[in-house]
Amino acid sequence: MNYIAKCISFSLLMGTTMIACNTDFLDTQPLDKVPGDAVWADRALSEAFVTDVYNGIRDGLLDQMSFDCQTDNALYSFGKQDVNEANVSPSNTGTVKTTMEWQEMYARIRSANIALSKLAKPTFDNSGNVAGRMRGEMYFMRAYFYNQLLRYYGAIPIIKTPYTLDEADFTVARNTYEECVNAIVTDLDSASALLKGRSMEAGRATMGASMALKARVLLYAASDLHDIPTAKIKSTVIAAATNPELLGYVSGDRTARWKKAQDAAKAVMDLNQYGYKLNLTAPVTAAEGQQNYVNLSLSQNGGETDGIFLKYYIRASNDDWGSWFPRNNQPNGYHGWTSSEPTQQMVDNYEMMDGTKFSWSNATHAAAPYENRDPRFYASILYDGAPWKPRTPDGAGIDPAGQIQMGEYEVGSSAAPTKFSGLDTRNSTIENWNGTWTGYAIRKFFNTDVSIVDQNIRQEIPSIQIRYTEVVLNYAETCLMLGQEAEAKKWINAVRFRAGMPAITETGAALVTRYQNERNVEMFMEDQRFYDVRRWMIAPTVLGQQARIIAITGKLKPGKTVTTYKYSKDNYTYTYSVQDLGTGKENRKWADKLYFLPISRDEVNRNSKLIQNPGY
């Protein structure tokens, strides 16, 4: 027994001695993470870090809720948007898309700052100056994220170095709007220089993307909203702002700003690197115009040459929510969710084929509102009677023709008809809870391949973050503001000819209004409208209205008998009634504070130097 006790004591002593002498286990590295220093010592890991920064784009334009749902263009089916009801505040910022959410964007900016710092003196094999290329990408992405914040909130703090835990002070004030623009432009110029002449993989930043984003930034900077003397005249909230330098330019030569924006856009055009069918001298046919627009929105069949900066999706990645865009937005009669719905206001923006304005006061227009419209309408909107894909088995027998059904129709005999609710309505026999409120659904960005069953097969259509047509329209707008109307009309008409639409001939204020509508139609659902109506300062007029919807009925003509409904003007008399959606769903109104959105209360509480936007 004594011997055993001695052995145990000796073993414990030896164990203690060994533990005291060997502390290597305290330095065990996690198996699922890579140490920071190791990342920047390895070329492949550095590449992976840089690539991850792009994920700040998330779903881009192809989110379930299109950003156009916070404008007059569309309605979100699954809940009110507080910004549409002028009901946002620092304590209730409403639905803020990830790509302009304060904390999310600054997290990505910090990652870009880390990469720029570490790549300045690379410790890996830098043959081909790969570190310079990655730095160019990070300058672009930092500028991209800063601009997302700038155009949503106004001026923000510009931070160009990564904070560390030993910082003496983490609070920082907002730069002026002018300083923000200058910082972003400087980053984009740096990106252009570092990326010049480089062949980049699809989806990565390029010199052209840097130049195109610069053109966008400078266009916004020259616009009414950011010229404070102009903005004060148009908005009492901005006129009363105590720190107007956070919202725009308080002085300076506005004409010079328009010229800088023009030069930036023209520089992209002079690359002769991008563009799709913009050299036409006359309109194409309606059928070709529709196909051209489909090609553009799908980045296929030549339309990809319009893309400058795109977010790509692959079917193999479950994280790519943007690849579910059709499932999220197709009609319920196809087992979709009809999440983002075009409003009647948007539908009415599409002109007649002859270039005249559509009007419900015109009896011919009102009797057949979906005939002879701008070809881009047919490529963008799913409307009652529109031909679409074959139905799934539970709907194929009810609708063998594969047509969109947004109305209430009679079937049977005209003498004793019964009511049939369209498959794509909220009275449908298929997922009626996902039916449209407005009477419309989205077609744009949908792969038209009938073999793709949209509710269970993800698509690989890219999200177009920047395209050449935007640059062309930016250039045309600067020409209008500089009094160069002939040059502006040349490029506006180039866009219209590609779509099959006739030339515009207006001058003066009428030409500006026509341009604004053209931009909205061409750039529908491309994250432009929210900012355009603000920087033009027309928001009180267009965003202060209730969302409008369409109610459609199909009444059998005398002597007609129909057993299976199909759109037919031979069998039916159709009636179209335009209505306000009603305040119970979303009570839309405008307040001037909405020109700039509120910084969240949490951010202001964390940073005492932040000045809140006016009106909150």
Total number of domains in the chain: 2
Tell me, yes or no, whether 204 and 347 share the same domain: no
pLDDT at 166: 80
Same domain, 357 and 393: yes
Contacts of 374 (CB under 8 A, 6+ apart): 350, 351, 352, 353, 499, 500, 501, 521
Query: 218 and 187, same structural domain?
Result: yes
Same domain, 233 and 326: no
Query: Does a structural domain hold residue 6?
Result: no
Same domain? For 125 and 217 the reply is yes
Tell which wins on pLDDT, 207 or 459: 207
pLDDT bin (cut points 50, 70, 90) of residue 24 is low
pLDDT at 476 over 70: yes
Residue 229 lies in a domain: yes
The share of the chain scoring above pLDDT 70, in percent, equals 94
Confidence of residue 170 (pLDDT cuts 50, 70, 90): confident
Dist CA 486 CA 506 (whole Å): 10
Q: Would you state the pLDDT for residue 458?
A: 87
The arithmetic mean of pLDDT across residues 460-469, rounded, is 96
Does residue 569 sit in the same domain as residue 600? no
**Is residue 470 assigned to a domain?**
no
Euclidean distance between CA atoms 535 and 415, whole angstroms: 56
Kindly report, residue by residue over 122-153, the tens digit of the pLDDT: 999 999 999 999 999 999 999 999 999 999 99
Residue 17 predicted with pLDDT over 70: no
Is 50 contained in some domain? yes
For residues 153 and 65, membership in a common domain is answered with: yes
Q: Do 563 and 602 fall within a single domain?
A: no
One domain, residues 51 and 76? yes
Q: Which helix (H) or strand (E) holds 413?
A: strand 408-413
The verdict on 219 and 368 lying in the same domain is no
Domain of 94, CATH number, reads: 1.25.40.390
- Rounded-to-integer distance, Cα 490 and Cα 484, Å: 10
Percent of the residues in the chain that have a pLDDT greater than 90, as a whole number: 88
Helix axes 207-222, 177-195, angle to 10 degrees: 160
Check whether 8 has a pLDDT greater than 50. Answer: no
Q: Which domain range does residue 324 map to?
A: 320-453+548-580
Question: How much is the average pLDDT of 78-84?
Answer: 95
The amino acid at residue 303 is: G
Answer yes or no: do 235 and 336 share one domain: no
Grade residue 15 by pLDDT with cuts at 50, 70 and 90: very low
Inside any domain, residue 589 = no
Average confidence (pLDDT) over 288-297: 98
Rounded-to-integer distance, Cα 201 and Cα 209, Å: 13
| Whether residues 209 and 344 fall in one domain | no
Is position 260 within any domain?
Answer: no
Taking residues 91-98, report their average pLDDT.
96
Is residue 69 included in any domain, yes or no? yes
Q: For residue 147, is it within any domain?
A: yes
The whole-chain average pLDDT of the chain stands at 93
